[in-house]
Amino acid sequence: MTYESDLHQHIRQLAAERGAVILAHNYQRAEVQDVADFVGDSLGLSRTAAATDKAVIVFAGVHFMAETAKILAPDKTVIMPEARAGCPMADMITAEQLVSWKAQYPGVPVVTYVNSSAAVKALTDVCCTSANAVEVVRSLGVPKVLFAPDRNLGAWVAEQAPEIEIVAWQGFCPTHERITPRAVMDAIDAHPQAEVMAHPENRPEVLALADAVLSTSQMLEYAKRSPSLEFIVVTEEGLLHGLAKAAPGKRFYTPSPAPVCPNMKLTTLEKVRDCLRDMAPVIEVPEDVRVAALAAVERMVAIG
């Protein structure tokens, strides 16, 4: 057996002993995805966390994801292999900033992307993911919405739901923001038969070049169903591992340089093993914050 397969076996044994379920985001390292019980996007993993009967949730992702799991499953022990794995976008709006922003728009509901802190979620009317943002905004039945923190996802929602005025906070994902239209055009020139799938965290001028704008889970389904054999994937490169599994025989390319989220890559197999062995770091959310955030997150999960 190889070192990696030995480590996988050890992790699975520890998970069984601890009564743990291992969740991994689509952007995680390939070897971390391969040891997980469930791999998915924020919405899919949130649903899994809410529904699991396991006592322990190991969340291989970034901090806001583990917090969301704790919001939905307060009776579970939520541990995270790498406590330093944060999300720069989530850090771009604080609870204090949201309070001030809301005061400028009295009565206007707040939709917050799940890529946000628990404290920000607690001040939110309803959360959303990239998979359901348009549906969430429309579900409110109002003419105007405050949308935080991602300006690019907000612009995409505004384009899809022109009947609603979207006032967007000026946050963004640095990994997606670095992808340029020129890089996508170069990929198209190199692979002229490929379909372009882009994540809505990309800039509007990048999305304008896409054949389909999709969340990561939607990309996996799209690639399976599409008759195309080649795809340019305009999101974090970790998704290519799942795409190769979902649609074997098809070819997937990223723009160059490959988009990499350094926070997602902080989690290693060794850290997954260590967190199960030590049952740490444990993710906690203050109960008053958790209760306040719960309704917004549950609405997100229910809308689908």
Q: Supply the CATH number for residue 192's domain.
A: 3.40.50.10800
- In the predicted structure, residue 301 carries a pLDDT above the cut 90: no
Looking at the chain, the whole-number percentage of residues with pLDDT higher than 90 is 94
Whether residues 100 and 245 fall in one domain? no
**Token duo for residue 34:** 């391969």
**CA of 41: how far to CAs of 86, 161, 204, in Å?**
16, 23, 22
**Arithmetic mean of pLDDT, 66-72:** 94
**Arithmetic mean of pLDDT, 228-238:** 98
Place 47 in a pLDDT band, splitting at 50, 70 and 90: confident
- In the predicted structure, residue 181 carries a pLDDT above the cut 90: yes
Looking at the chain, the whole-number percentage of residues with pLDDT higher than 70 is 99
- Give the angle subtended at the CA of 59 by the CAs of 53 and 61, to the nearest 5°: 150
Residue 32's pLDDT is what?
98
258 located within any domain: no
Whether residues 166 and 293 fall in one domain? yes
What is the rounded CA–CA span in Å between residue 246 and residue 92?
34
**Arithmetic mean of pLDDT, 79-94:** 96
Whether residues 159 and 296 fall in one domain? yes
Whether residues 163 and 299 fall in one domain? yes
156 located within any domain: yes
In tens, the pLDDT along 5-38 reads: 999 999 999 999 999 999 999 999 999 999 999 9
The dihedral built from the CA positions of residue 71, 73, 79 and 85, taken in this order, carries a sign that is: negative
Structural domain including 161 reads 90-172+289-303
Whether residues 146 and 125 fall in one domain? yes
In tens, the pLDDT along 102-148 reads: 999 999 999 999 999 999 999 999 999 999 999 999 999 999 999 99
Residue 303's pLDDT is what?
87
Residue 97's pLDDT is what?
98
